[in-house]
Chains A and B, each alone.
Chain A
Amino acid sequence: MTTEMLIDEADAQAAFDAIIEADSRIEPRDWMPAAYRKTLIRQISQHAHSEIIGMQPEGNWITRAPSLKRKAILMAKVQDEAGHGLYLYSAAQTLGITRDEMTEQLIEGRARYSSIFNYPTPTWADMGAIGWLVDGAAICNQVPLCRASYGPYGRAMVRICKEESFHQRQGFEILLTLMQGSPAQREMAQDAVDRWYWPSLMMFGPPDDESPNSAQSMAWNIKRFSNDDLRQRFIGMLVPQAEVLGVTLPDPELRWDAAAQRWHTSEIDWTEFHEVLAGRGPMNVERIRNRRNAHEDGAWVREAATEYARKQAEREAAWSLSSETRSLSSETRSLSSETRSLSLSKGAA
């Protein structure tokens, strides 16, 4: 490497640092450190995978929703998740990774996605718990990401956040309806909250001293708040909402510690989190298997569409070639009839 190249890279690094320092945005064609690019590809693609996999636990109840309206609403939510995944895949692609590579990484188990989607959804109340707790946690996490330093990521998050708020309300209202219903419905709602509360808290990730990527992410303005700060914020949101619902959050230690100005909670059992993340959660295998099947079973659609597009393009090229030929030959005909009339008039003279 020549000195000239080193100096250029030093300049580029300085320009990058200045943009980060000014809390401005890095765009796709800007120079960026290889590690910045790599961490964003990882984070954005994992975020995208989470949305796509997240379609499954709720998709499970589309055929069994209690009313037509609830079915339509649940379908709209699942469509949104697909859309969110697609926005994020597009954002990741601006960093140089292809859609095919990301799909392959997911199907082959080489990419991670949010641990929360590896839990089953055995009852309708789970739809409420997911909307209220899981989407609620996602909102807490995603609002700060709207200001992530990488432009396409932040913009995708703005679009996602606009759509996400209906998700949380939808879940809350499902639980509200159940809690105002029969004893069996109230029990179902409370049971769902009991099962989804702790996994939702774990969505924010382990305490930051155990989270290797946090410090660098914060220095690069990708991450704005620590995992623990976000978790505290989330709990603070939930407590009054739980009161409105009439559900009990399954943490007997939960109370506001005025001296420390934070919520005191029971110890989180991180072994479950690590097990699920390592692929040993209740639904990990099924989630990936479904994704792989959808990809493989859908291959004929992609092939047919591509082949149709290719044929159409060929036909169009052939048509324009032949119409060019036709107009050229009619030009030739009119030229030769001009010639004939000229020679006739000459002959007459």
Chain B
Amino acid sequence: MWEVFVRAGRGLSHVHAGSLHAPDAEFALRNARDLYTRRGEGTSIWVVPADAITTSDPGSKGAFFESPAGKNYRHASYYTASEGVPHL
């Protein structure tokens, strides 16, 4: 099985479109073209064997992704003393 990523146009990134079955990479590319770009949805296709993809464990959400709560200093809106200063 292969996962398919399609770039809709220049300047955009590839977005996951879905999956399909194929015996090898070349077939996978052609199948992806027929299955996911019948209406010119993309200028570039990537196909990746599904088992080559490593995924994060949804269960370890909290531990794996550092909690963003209490770290508002990562956002510009946290800094109020510079309000009104030009170009800041």
Contacts and interface: CB of A to CB of B under 8 A. Distances in A.
Contacts of B19: 90, 93
A212 B4 CA distance: 37
A154 B54 CA distance: 24
Contact of A90 (B18, B27, B38): B18
A305 B39 CA distance: 27
Interface in B9-31: 18-21, 23-24, 27
B38 A86 contact: no
Interface in A72-127: 76, 79-80, 83, 86-87, 90, 93, 99
Contact of A309 (B20, B24, B39): B24
B20 to A, nearest CB: 7
A27 interface: yes
Interface in B34-59: 34-35, 38-39, 55, 57-58
Interface residues of B, number: 15
A238 B22 CA distance: 41
Contacts of A99: 21
B58 A30 contact: yes
B54 to A, nearest CB: 12
A103 B21 CA distance: 13
Contacts of A313: 24
B27 to A, nearest CB: 6
A305 B20 contact: no
B38 A80 contact: yes
B23 to A, nearest CB: 4
Contacts of A312: 24
A166 B57 CA distance: 40
B38 A79 contact: yes
Nearest to A80: B38
Main secondary structure of the interface of A (DSSP, over half): helix
Nearest to A302: B23
Contacts, number: 39
Contacts of B34: 79, 83
Contacts of A30: 58
A289 B34 CA distance: 26
B57 to A, nearest CB: 7
B57 A309 contact: no
A142 to B, nearest CB: 17
A30 B61 CA distance: 11
Contacts of B27: 305, 309
A309 B58 contact: no
Contact of B38 (A83, A156, A308, A309): A83
B24 A83 contact: no
12 contacts: A30-B58, A76-B38, A83-B35, A87-B18, A90-B19, A90-B20, A99-B21, A159-B18, A302-B23, A309-B23, A309-B24, A313-B24
Interface of B: 1, 18-21, 23-24, 27, 34-35, 38-39, 55, 57-58
Given A156-B18, A305-B27, 17 more contacts: A29-B55, A76-B38, A83-B34, A83-B35, A86-B35, A87-B18, A87-B35, A90-B18, A90-B19, A93-B1, A159-B18, A163-B38, A163-B39, A306-B23, A308-B24, A309-B23, A309-B27
